[in-house]
Amino acid sequence: MSTLAEQAVARTPRRLALRFRGMSDRAIAWLFITPSVLLLLAINIFPLLWSIQLSFTNYRANRPNAAIRFVGLDNYRDILTDPEVWHAMQATAHFVLWSIALEFVLGFGLALLINRRFRGHSFWTTIILLPMMLSPAVVGNFWTFLLQPQIGLFNGAIALLTGLDPSSFQMIGDVRLAPWSIIMVDTWMWTPYVMLICLAGLRSIPDYIYEAAEVDRASPWRQFWSITLPMVMPFLMLAILFRAIENFKMFDMVNLLTSGGPGSTTEVASITLKREAFEKWRTGYSSALAIILFVTVFGAANIYVKALNRVKQR
């Protein structure tokens, strides 16, 4: 009876077998990963290096005949001293922090509810998951209609509950309400995602731990604080990391809902970047902005991952 390895050798075509004969395991490993590495270099690393290089120039993609000048750190200095960029960063931070906080609370709450087995549990889980299955472009478009003051269902519902005239307030045209509109829509769309990850965390807690706690007469509250929360925490932190990275670079939904307006109220960093890169065509400047945003996200994510690892080790 031959082993699996022997069978594999027997099935390998002779010419191929001859070609690989004598190659070390390391060489074969390299042979297999080289195409992926080359692809990564071509579509990730090369553009990144090129952007870094462009960020030190005055290059504009819409002026192919213009001379490209090395400007040193001028683009970075201009960005970091530009109040408009700081405003965009503030708008981004407001959006990211509030949307994550709401998604965290609601997502975890829903996961706790869904985790209890009840009749129609699968049906409700599917219904709750529907928003995250939609495209952000579709969500942006139909929420524009939902938030329309005259015909929008949202204004109609608020009017029904409060007795206000539905056209007496506008969610996406009002400076105070517009930032909350994008937070609300994002929360509506992505809470199910956080819920799903939390649910995976809750389901991974072995029942015997709760049984032991009950034997020890621990109250439900105590069980939550001492068992559920610590054991779900790595999952929660992972969900927050994913959502924070996604929302930091959120573009499509915000662009469709408000175009960054009214004025520049909801102009998050990605919209500023798009305007600089593909509307104003300041390629060098926008490359520098992209690098700054990349470093910000990358740095924050790294710190966060270290914290996550510490929580996991506890």
Partner 1 sequence: MIQIMRALGVTAVVVASCLGNQAVAQTKQLTLCWAAWDPANALVELSKDFTTKTGIQMKYEFVPWTSYADRFLNELNSKGKLCDVIIGDSQWIGGAAENGHYVKLNDFFAKEKISMDDFMPATVVGYSEWPKNTPNYWALPAMGDAIGWTYRKDWFARPEIQAEFKKKFGRDLAPPETWDDLKQIAEFFQGREIDGKKVYGAYIYTERGSEGITMGVTNALYDWGFQYENPKKPYQMEGFVNSPEAAKGLEFYKSLYKCCTAPGMSNAYMSEGLDAFKSGQVAMQMNFFAFFPGLYKDPNVGGDKIGFFVNPKQKYHFTQLGGQGISVVSYSEHRDDALAYIKWFAQPDVQKKWWALGGYSCHKAVLNDPGFPKSAPFAADFLKSMDIVKDFWAEPSYAELLLDMQKRVHDYVVADKGTAQEALDLLVKDWQKVFKEDGKI
Establish if 258 lies at the interface with partner 1 (CB under 8 A).
Answer: yes
Nearest to 266 by CA among 199, 176, 197: 176
- Do 196 and 246 contact (CB within 8 A), yes or no? no
**x/- binding map, residues 217-256, to partner 1, per CB under 8 A?**
--------------------------------------x-
Segment 119-148, which members bind partner 1 (CB under 8 A)? 148
* Residue 265 touches partner 1, criterion: CB under 8 A: yes
- Other beta carbons within 10 Å of 235: 21
> Quick one: which of 91, 98, 266, 302 has its CA closest to 191?
98
> Please, which residue, 174 or 246, has the CB nearer to partner 1?
174
* Interaction of residue 7 with partner 1, rule CB under 8 A: no
Q: Among 192, 260, 269, 308, which residue interacts with partner 1 (rule: CB under 8 A)?
A: 260
Q: How far is the CB of 276 from partner 1 (least distance, A)?
A: 9
Please check whether residue 278 is in contact with residue 188, taking contact to mean a CB–CB distance below 8 angstroms: no
Question: How far is residue 265's CA from residue 183's CA, in Å, rounded to a whole number?
Answer: 13
> Quick count: other Cβ atoms within 10 Å of Cβ 89?
16
| Block residue for tokens 């000048």 | 69
Q: What span, in angstroms and rounded, lies between the C-alpha atoms of 9 and 80?
A: 61
Type of residue numbered 73: L
Minimum CB distance to partner 1, residue 297 (Å): 25
Instruction: Name residue, tokens 């056209």.
Output: 167
Handedness of CA 62, 64, 65, 67 (dihedral sign): positive
Q: Does 57 bind partner 1 (CB under 8 A)?
A: no
Q: Is there binding between residue 65 and partner 1 (CB under 8 A)? A: yes
Q: Which is nearer to partner 1, 35 or 263 (CB)?
A: 263
- Of the candidate residues 264, 296, 297, 300, the single one contacting partner 1 (CB under 8 A): 264
Separation CA 208–CA 86 (nearest Å) = 51
- Told to check if 64 binds partner 1 by CB under 8 A, we report yes
Count CA atoms closer than 13 A to 152's CA, side-chain side: 21
Q: How far apart are CA 146 and CA 155, in angstroms?
A: 8
Our finding on whether 181 is near partner 1 (CB under 8 A) is no
Which one of the spans 12-20, 55-63, 115-123, 228-236 is the region binding partner 1 (CB under 8 A)? Answer: 55-63
CB of 262 to partner 1, least distance (A): 4
Q: What are phi and psi of 124, to 5 degrees?
A: -65, -35
Closer Cβ to partner 1, 151 or 303, answer by number: 151
Q: Rule CB under 8 A: is residue 46 a binding residue for partner 1?
A: no
Instruction: From 12-20, 201-209, 235-243, 276-284, give the range in contact with partner 1 by CB under 8 A.
Output: 276-284
Name the site residues for partner 1 (rule: CB under 8 A). Answer: 58, 61-65, 148-150, 152, 167-168, 170, 172-175, 255, 258-265, 275, 278-282
